[in-house]
Amino acid sequence: MATTSVRVPDELRARIVRAAERAEMTPHALMLEALEERVQLEEARAALSAEADERYATWTNTNRGYDWHEMRAYLEARVEGRKAKRPRVKTWRK
């Protein structure tokens, strides 16, 4: 395991110590958990952005996609537990 030094302002260090005590963790464990959560968040954002770029490229190359209003109504119905007819793919440009 690698070691990395981080300079932490005194006030932040005090807050970390208090938070760790409340969570019944060491300050080190709390900071590792916080770093892990932040890295996971950034990785998820990068994956979402890459997927969005890929889907946009597919959409622009095929000129096919879903009507937003139909898809939104479908998703809202599904979230509410109602059965809904799945929207059909449409050609946008010829």
Q: Which residues contact 31 (CB under 8 A, 6 or more apart)?
A: 6, 16
Query: What pLDDT was estimated at residue 94?
Result: 60
pTM of the predicted model, to two decimals? 0.68
| Mean pLDDT, the chain, whole residue set | 95
Percent of the chain beyond pLDDT 90? 87
Domain ranges of the chain: 10-88
Instruction: Output 58 or 18, whichever has higher pLDDT.
Output: 18
